[in-house]
Every structure is written in C-alpha cells, then in structure tokens.
Amino acid sequence: MRSLPFVFVLMMGVVGCKDQGESDTSETGVGDADTDSDTDADTDADTDSDTDTDTNVDTDTSAACWITGPVAECWDCGLPASPEATSEKALNQCTTSTYATFDNGARIPSATWVEGTPLPAIP
C-alpha cells in the first residue's frame, strides 16, 4: 500500500470543557446519558437567555457559549430553540463523541481547489 499523503487525527476523548474529567469516551449509553442531561439543563437554563440577548446588537453574550475545545471552539450552550440561518452551533457542539479530521488543505491538491475559494464548477 502506498504512503497516503494526508494527515488526520482520530481522537478518543473529550471535546467539551464540561467533560474534561472523563478520560475515556464510553461507547455505551453512559456518556451519552450524561451528555443528554447536561444538554437538557443547558437548554432550559441558557437557551432563553441566549435568545433574549442575541437581539441586543451591542453585546454578544453568545460568545460565552463558544469555549475552547481540543481542535477549535465548540458550542457549549445547547441547540437553539428555533431555526437559525445556519447550523453552525449544531455542527460544532461540545460533545464527548469521538471525531476525525479531514484536512482539506492537506488532502485536496491546490490545483483542484483551495479552501476559502469557490468550489470549481463541474462540467
């Protein structure tokens, strides 16, 4: 098998700040149950306040919901109560799930596409 010119990270462990005490990611229901209960509490406690303060253009308190994770910031405050323009918060939730990383910059030749530019039209 030829050497594969890519880099990916497969991590077992915590993404979210609240779960840093857990060193193992359980693949049974235990970790998920904990996560769900935390999410429920956050949904009840934080979503409304986030919704209220999101309308205040001078103070972005939703920034407090973006906490530092092992790879990048993750959303720590539960899903929004109503659809928003994008799913950015949903896609980057703090979670105990394992993840992989597909490095577009390393895997996709620059002659094909460079991240940050429009994808090429398909003939």
Partner 1 sequence: MKHRSFAFVAMLAAGLPAQALAADCTTLNGSSPIIYGAGGSAQTNLVGKAAVVLQGSTSPVFVVYQDSAGACAGINALAGVGPTSITGSASYWDSAGVKGSCTLALTGNAVQFAVMGNSPLLCPLITDPSLVADITDVTGPISSVNVFVPNASTQQSISSEAFYLIYGLGAAAGIAPWTSTDPAYFIHRNENSFVQLYLATASTLPVTKFYGVDAGTNANSVAYAAALANPEQGIAFASGDVADANRATVRTLAWQQAGQDVAYWPDSSATAFDKANVRSGQYYLWGANHFYGLQGVAEGSFADANVAAYVGYLSGASQPVGTTKTITETAVANKNVPTCAMHAQRSGDLGPVFAYEATEPCDCYFDFKATGATTCDVCDDSTPCATGTCRLGYCEAR
Binding residues vs partner 1 (CB under 8 A): 1, 4-6, 8, 10, 12, 25-33, 35-36, 39-40, 43, 47, 69, 71-74, 78-88, 90-93, 95-102, 104, 107-109, 111-113, 115, 119-120, 122
Measured from the CB atom, is 28 or 58 closer to partner 1?
A: 28
Measured from the CB atom, is 25 or 62 closer to partner 1?
A: 25
Measured from the CB atom, is 64 or 90 closer to partner 1?
A: 90
Could you tell me the smallest distance in angstroms from the CB atom of residue 41 to partner 1? 12
Per-residue burial over 87-108, b if 16 or more Cβ lie within 10 Å, else e, is eebeebbbbbeeeeeeeeeeee
Contact 18, 76 (CB under 8 A): yes
The owner of tokens 């999101």 is 54
Per-residue burial over 7-26, b if 16 or more Cβ lie within 10 Å, else e, is eeeeeeebbbebbeeeeebe
Could you tell me the smallest distance in angstroms from the CB atom of residue 58 to partner 1? 25
